[in-house]
């Protein structure tokens, strides 16, 4: 017996399939609800493991790791704290996915999708969040049909995205208040669980400590001149920002080479901690940051 839902899905896919010269495909994006529906449909139609990169007209990006119509990881989204799929409760992760998709859908179109092969095969225990769970969570979130430049909510989102675009390969997560205690030592210790390599340096760039990574090895031997220059750049960046950034910051950097590792940089008033990790472990890095800053707020 053939499942008629599958037949209907294949029929719908065949009607919407068109030849294109670019690897990116354009999604329906007349208004925010249509954009969200198109994103959900893309998740539903993705069977093999893929990185789905959704890009809005202003350059705002949402990157999801999807397999068997399940969201396995949120790899990238500008301006939103990402859930930890391994540690957070399933209900919380599902709600976070729905919020990210809904917030991204509010950014003006057109909307493009690029489906890429993941750098590594997904782990067997990466069951992810099913399409039905995400769809139900999205249905509970209201989304305006306004899609013009006169929409205050969309304009505010566009303005925020424009400011982020000035540094397209680095996202900064800042705490709203000055830290009570230094975060770097705690982040350095906590990153052992997911980091391939990790180390801590002083604000002047001098190396203070290097620790073993999740593989149990200490293999990172950074160049002293590069560390000094990096620390100087961070210092100048901090001076330029002035009062706009209060307290410690977490900076997430992804290489232009999609197969290369990513970096999580945490800086406070005294030190800088750096963890090198696989891109798919972004949720673990952000989850550690959230837990540390939450402890300080309490």
CB atoms within 10 A of CB 94: 20
The answer on 28 and 113 residing in a single domain is yes
The answer on 130 and 30 residing in a single domain is yes
The answer on 182 and 131 residing in a single domain is no
> In the prediction, which pLDDT does 116 show?
85
The answer on 132 and 31 residing in a single domain is yes
**Using CA atoms, how far apart are residues 45 and 39, in angstroms rounded to an integer?**
10
pLDDT at 153 over 60: no
Out of 164, 198, 219, a domain closes at 164
**Using CA atoms, how far apart are residues 226 and 205, in angstroms rounded to an integer?**
8
With a pLDDT cut of 90, the percent of the chain lying above it is 11
User: Rounded to two decimals, what is the model's pTM?
Assistant: 0.45
How many domains in the chain?
2
CB atoms within 10 A of CB 156: 11
Which tops the pLDDT comparison, 96 or 162?
Answer: 96
CB atoms within 10 A of CB 221: 9
The answer on 147 and 58 residing in a single domain is yes
Out of 164, 188, 205, a domain closes at 164
pLDDT tens track for 172-195: 444 333 344 578 899 999 888 888
The answer on 13 and 74 residing in a single domain is yes
CATH number at residue 255: 3.30.450
The answer on 114 and 213 residing in a single domain is no
CB-based contact 253:170 (threshold 8 Å)? yes
pLDDT at 273 over 70: yes
pLDDT at 148 over 70: no
pLDDT band at residue 162, thresholds of 50, 70 and 90? very low
pLDDT tens track for 220-261: 677 788 888 888 888 877 776 666 666 788 888 877 676 778
The answer on 134 and 16 residing in a single domain is yes
- The secondary structure of residue 121, as a DSSP letter, is P
Out of 129, 164, 199, a domain closes at 164
With a pLDDT cut of 70, the percent of the chain lying above it is 70
The answer on 185 and 136 residing in a single domain is no
| CA atoms within a 13 Å half-sphere pointing along the CA-CB vector of 76 | 23
Domain range enclosing 122: 4-164
The answer on 174 and 278 residing in a single domain is yes
> In the prediction, which pLDDT does 243 show?
61
pLDDT at 1 over 60: no
The answer on 174 and 135 residing in a single domain is no
The answer on 160 and 14 residing in a single domain is yes
Q: Quick check: helix, strand or coil at residue 149?
A: coil
């Amino acid at each position: 017996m053939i499942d008629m839902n599958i037949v209907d899905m294949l029929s719908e896919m065949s009607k919407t399939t068109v030849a294109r010269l670019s690897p990116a495909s354009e999604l329906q994006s007349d208004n925010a609800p249509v954009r969200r529906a198109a994103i959900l449909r893309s998740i539903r139609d993705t069977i093999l493991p893929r990185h789905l990169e959704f890009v809005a007209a202003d350059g705002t990006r949402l990157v999801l790791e999807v397999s068997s119509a399940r969201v396995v990881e949120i790899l990238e989204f500008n301006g939103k704290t990402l859930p930890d799929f391994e540690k957070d409760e399933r209900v919380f992760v599902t709600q976070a996915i729905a919020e990210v998709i809904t917030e991204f859908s509010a950014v003006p179109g057109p909307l493009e999708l690029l489906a890429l092969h993941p750098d590594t095969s997904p782990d067997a225990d990466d069951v992810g969040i099913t399409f039905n769970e995400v769809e139900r969570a999205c249905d509970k979130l209201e989304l305006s049909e306004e899609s013009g430049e006169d929409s205050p909510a969309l304009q505010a989102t566009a303005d925020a995205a424009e400011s982020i675009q000035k540094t397209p390969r680095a996202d900064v997560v800042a705490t709203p208040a000055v830290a009570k205690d230094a975060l770097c030592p705690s982040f350095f210790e906590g990153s052992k669980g997911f980091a391939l390599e990790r180390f801590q340096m002083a604000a002047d760039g001098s190396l203070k400590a290097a620790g073993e990574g999740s593989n149990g090895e200490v293999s990172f031997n950074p160049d002293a001149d590069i560390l000094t220059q990096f620390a100087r750049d961070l210092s100048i960046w901090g001076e330029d920002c002035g009062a706009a950034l209060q307290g410690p910051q977490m900076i997430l950097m992804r290489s232009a080479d999609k197969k290369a590792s990513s970096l999580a940089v945490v800086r406070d008033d005294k030190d800088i901690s750096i963890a090198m990790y696989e891109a798919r472990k972004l949720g673990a890095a952000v989850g550690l940051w959230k837990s540390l800053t939450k402890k300080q707020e309490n």
